[in-house]
Amino acid sequence: MEKPLNLIILGPQGSGKGTQAALLQKRFDAAYFGAGDALREIAKTDTALGRKVHQTINVEGKLVEPELISEVVREKILTVPREQNLVIDSYPRSLEQYELFRQFWSDMNRGPYTVVFLELSEEEAVKRLMQRKRLDDTEEAIRQRLALFNSLTLPMIRQMEMADEVICVNGLPSIEQVHQEILAKLK
């Protein structure tokens, strides 16, 4: 049996991760899981966990604990049949999350995964995010999230590159051009 296509979409906020993940999900008839979407849903709930997640991501502009998001992602992946293609949006996002991911991924027997890294300048990311008008998109929160990306996620991506798990794609061109570059590099 052929192993499924497992894709992880990473990049700074505003790089088009969600858009490209949706296009790849459709193209490959894949299950989709967005870590940010899951956390935003949890943050809306009036529970202790919901309030904690809301405070962390919406007020402080920080990442939740690696164990929490890793458990959420692991549980979601377990619901996907092993033979089905999978697109994961925005996870892992730190070296600690990456280590947790590698531990549970190897136990799942889903085969290899490929990381699609959408590269985008900070200036362009801020410009795009200010136009998006999402609740957590104040300029201060945007700059905080980009600083977190640079300090936590980029070092992880560099480590993934050393393991030859990453394809880098320029996130600046049009949605369709970025999508075509991803497809070409996946071949």
Residue 73 DSSP code: H
Give residue-wise pLDDT tens across range 51-88.
988 998 888 877 788 998 998 899 889 999 999 999 99
- Give the CATH number for residue 68: 3.40.50.300
pLDDT value of residue 132:
81
The domain total for the chain is 1
pLDDT value of residue 1:
53
User: Is the pLDDT reported for residue 48 higher than 60?
Assistant: yes
Q: How far apart are CA 180 and CA 170, in angstroms?
A: 11
Query: Does residue 63 form part of some domain?
Result: yes
Query: Does residue 35 form part of some domain?
Result: yes
pLDDT value of residue 106:
93
pLDDT value of residue 75:
86
For residue 99, the enclosing domain spans: 6-186
Query: Does residue 1 form part of some domain?
Result: no
Whether the Cβ atoms of residue 145 and residue 126 lie closer than 8 Å to each other: no
Amino acid at 187: K
As annotated, the binding site includes 14-19, 40, 62-64, 97, 132, 134, 145, 173
Length of the chain in residues, anyone?
A: 187
The separation between the first and the last C-alpha atoms of the chain, rounded to the nearest angstrom, is 19
pLDDT band at 102 (very low <50, low <70, confident <90, very high): very high
pLDDT value of residue 62:
79
As annotated, the binding site for ATP includes 14-19, 132, 173
pLDDT value of residue 37:
86
* pTM: predicted TM-score of the whole model, two decimal places: 0.89
Query: Does residue 101 form part of some domain?
Result: yes
Query: Does residue 138 form part of some domain?
Result: yes
pLDDT value of residue 155:
98
User: Is the pLDDT reported for residue 136 higher than 80?
Assistant: no
φ/ψ of residue 130, rounded to 5: -65, -25
pLDDT band at 119 (very low <50, low <70, confident <90, very high): very high
Alpha-carbon distances of 24 from 113, 162, 178, 182, rounded to whole Å: 14, 24, 11, 9
pLDDT value of residue 60:
83
As annotated, the binding site for AMP includes 40, 62-64, 97, 134, 145
* Residues 6 or more apart whose Cβ sits within 8 Å of residue 167: 114, 115, 116, 117, 182, 185, 186
| SS3 state at 113 | coil
pLDDT value of residue 72:
87
